[in-house]
Amino acid sequence: MNFLRRRLSDSSFVANLPNGYMTDLQRPDSSTSSPASPAMERRHPQPLAASFSSPGSSLFSSFSSAMKQTSQAPLGPMESPGPSTPVVQRPRILLVIDDAHTDWAKYFHGKKVNGEIEIRVEQAEFSELNLAAYVTGGCMVDMQVVRNGTKVVRSFKPDFILVRQHAYSMALGEDYRSLVIGLQYGGLPAVNSLYSVYNFCSKPWVFSQLIKIFHSLGPEKFPLVEQTFFPNHKPMLTAPHFPVVVKLGHAHAGKGKIKVENQHDYQDITSMVAMAKTYATTEAFIDSKYDIRIQKIGSNYKAYMRTSISGNWKANTGSAMLEQVAMTERYRLWVDSCSEMFGGLDICAVKAVHSKDGRDYIIEVMDSSMPLIGEHLEEDKQLMADLVVSKMSQLPMPGGTVPSPLRPWTPQTKPAKPPGQAQLGPPLGQPQPRTPTQGGPRQAQSPQPPRSGSPSQQRLSPQGQQPLSPSSGSPQQQRSPGSPQLSRTSGGSSPNQVCKPGTTLTSQPRPPMQGRSTSQQGEESKKPATPHPHLNKSQSLTNSLSTSDASQRGPPSEDEAKAETIRNLRKSFASLFSD
């Protein structure tokens, strides 16, 4: 009691008391041992408007101001802020693997991904590249090139790749298949795909795909040249007929090809194959009138005819006359069928030979590293650039969206509700009430099934007779009558009913709380509760403050919560001064 007298003499403490307490507790003739003041306070309650009229007059506000600041964080779904300023996207890095004869930067000048993201072109040959690929970090490419006599060293992470160079050639001693593996390891998209680029590193492997198309379409629609494969020199004993063309290993631009006229020359070539330690193929020599090349870049088709004027049996060696011919359906079928191999070829070309007897023979297919020919070189390069931009626009853009600083909303799972039971909780998206721990600090709790006697929602069994929680006699549920808790049932008693230990709420047909009038709510909120004679005073005060804080958040009506807070405080002071 001396502690209470010292607290009442403190001006800052008294200033935070409601007006009703100041008139009853600060009178000189009032005695703390007389129960008259609490009784008079109960007979003449002060209106709610007067209790909350002046700012800073609520005792509840002084005790729980810090808790209000932490409890104002929303628990339901959050709304995103207003429209933010547009984010400047970083330019997409395009790595073009090609020699320095073609400046690909000018063909991508002014082009943007999705019309808004710039494209930065990095161009180098396979011999000027190195890389490191990671599972989650992508692919880091190191480039060392010489531009105008100056050595340029750069490291970057490409977003897309255009392959315009052969990754493997036995004739030149170039083998960059390990770089193709590293780019594929880093998950980089490319034109053509890195999967197809790696498969094109062996001409017999590609020819096996032509054999499949040959068997699918037939010799009339897809006339494939007759060819024999030898993994080494040992089975190369003789040829069925002469002359034949022997192709040694994997090479380009006419290299590694030999025309054999008789059996003696064939035996000499066999010894050369043994020295090369590689595979070889033989095919019948075709006395050609001209060569045919059908190319496809995206959806653009072109057909060319090349006639040798130097007398060389290789039309691509020496002097030749080139002219563009009409694109027929037969040629379109050839190139469309070949463009489907290895998951799809965006850029490809089919080479065929037209013999002097008027028959056509398909001899080879090329990928995106094919050389461009004819009078439309600039147009073809522009078509490739447009194709690359189109492919880049179809890819998901990393970092295109700005992550929201707000906590993402996680939908809360709700337990299954028996048929016929009314919904007791607040609507979806409102903060769920949390149960305070008696006699200790409150901690944030995850949504749990409600407990009997707590200010959270109380669920009943389908029969409506007993609460679903069987442990109604636990210490956390046995609340003192001096600190009443709010409890609601699906059809039951008043929202401010006092739950005594061992009391079981039964469901009664009554309208829900939302349907009651304001006067009925006010009358029920003013019903006093009888204090327990053996209630500990400090425990009663702690429970009252915890109850008032929980009631402030639990009930859906703010006025009802404030009324409950004042009523609990008055009862607490009444029990303190009644002794």
Other Cβ atoms less than 10 A from the Cβ of 530: the count is 10
Q: At what angle do helices 329-338 and 203-217 cross, to 10 degrees?
A: 130
Statement: residue 151 has pLDDT above 60: yes
* Number of domains making up the chain: 3
Residues 313, 334 within the same domain: yes
Local structure of residue 558 (DSSP, 8 states)? H
Residue 277: give the domain boundaries: 226-285
Whether 234 and 270 have beta carbons less than 8 Å apart is answered as no
Statement: residue 296 has pLDDT above 80: yes
Query: Regarding predicted confidence, which is higher, 399 or 360?
Result: 360
Question: Is 317 inside a domain boundary?
Answer: yes
Name which of 296, 293, 312, 309 is nearest 354 in CA terms: 293
Residue 562 pLDDT level (bands cut at 50, 70, 90): confident
Residue 376 pLDDT level (bands cut at 50, 70, 90): very high
Question: Is 240 inside a domain boundary?
Answer: yes
- C-alpha–C-alpha distance, residues 452 and 552, integer Å: 19
Question: Is 252 inside a domain boundary?
Answer: yes
Domain stops at, among 321, 343, 371: 371
The predicted structure's pLDDT at residue 59: 46
The predicted structure's pLDDT at residue 265: 92
Output the domain CATH number for residue 266.
Answer: 3.30.1490.20
Query: Regarding predicted confidence, which is higher, 297 or 9?
Result: 297
Output the domain CATH number for residue 297.
Answer: 3.30.470.20
At 477-493, the pLDDT tens digits run 444 444 444 434 334 44
Which of 11-20, 225-234, 483-492, 557-566 has the highest mean predicted lDDT (pLDDT)? Answer: 225-234
Report how far apart, in Å, the C-alpha atoms of 118 and of each of 115, 160, 307, 358 are: 8, 13, 43, 51
The predicted structure's pLDDT at residue 3: 55
Residue 37 pLDDT level (bands cut at 50, 70, 90): very low
Average pLDDT over residues 9-36: 48
- Residues of the chain with pLDDT > 70: what percent? 57
Query: Regarding predicted confidence, which is higher, 418 or 316?
Result: 316
The predicted structure's pLDDT at residue 148: 85
Residues 132, 166 within the same domain: yes
At 357-366, the pLDDT tens digits run 999 999 999 9
Domain stops at, among 285, 309, 324: 285
Report how far apart, in Å, the C-alpha atoms of 147 and of each of 143, 151, 178, 275 are: 12, 6, 25, 40
Residues 136, 270 within the same domain: no
Question: Is 170 inside a domain boundary?
Answer: yes
Name which of 461, 466, 376, 375 is nearest 420 in CA terms: 461
Statement: residue 14 has pLDDT above 90: no
- C-alpha–C-alpha distance, residues 310 and 578, integer Å: 125
Residues 199, 314 within the same domain: yes
The predicted structure's pLDDT at residue 170: 86
Local structure of residue 476 (DSSP, 8 states)? T
Average pLDDT over residues 35-50: 43
Residues 345, 359 within the same domain: yes
Residue 83 pLDDT level (bands cut at 50, 70, 90): low
Whether 249 and 170 have beta carbons less than 8 Å apart is answered as yes
Residues 159, 243 within the same domain: no
Question: Is 320 inside a domain boundary?
Answer: yes
Statement: residue 211 has pLDDT above 60: yes
Residue 54 pLDDT level (bands cut at 50, 70, 90): very low
Name which of 44, 168, 58, 219 is nearest 548 in CA terms: 58
Question: Is 503 inside a domain boundary?
Answer: no
Average pLDDT over residues 286-291: 92
Kindly report whether the global pTM for this prediction surpasses the value 0.95: no
Query: Regarding predicted confidence, which is higher, 556 or 176?
Result: 176
Average pLDDT, the chain: 72
At 539-555, the pLDDT tens digits run 444 444 444 444 444 44
Query: Regarding predicted confidence, which is higher, 105 or 416?
Result: 105
Query: Regarding predicted confidence, which is higher, 573 or 472?
Result: 573
Other Cβ atoms less than 10 A from the Cβ of 386: the count is 16
At 122-140, the pLDDT tens digits run 999 999 999 999 999 899 9
Question: Is 544 inside a domain boundary?
Answer: no
Residues 280, 306 within the same domain: no
Query: Regarding predicted confidence, which is higher, 533 or 319?
Result: 319
Q: Which range among 146-155, 202-211, 459-468, 570-579 shows the weakest confidence by mean pLDDT?
A: 459-468
Question: Is 176 inside a domain boundary?
Answer: yes
Statement: residue 430 has pLDDT above 80: no
Output the domain CATH number for residue 169.
Answer: 3.40.50.20
- C-alpha–C-alpha distance, residues 566 and 19, integer Å: 11
Whether 217 and 360 have beta carbons less than 8 Å apart is answered as no
Ordered alpha helix ranges (H), 200-255: 203-217
Residue 320 pLDDT level (bands cut at 50, 70, 90): confident
Residues 308, 359 within the same domain: yes
Residues 214, 231 within the same domain: no
Residues 168, 309 within the same domain: no
Residues 109, 182 within the same domain: yes
Residues 201, 332 within the same domain: yes
Statement: residue 71 has pLDDT above 80: no
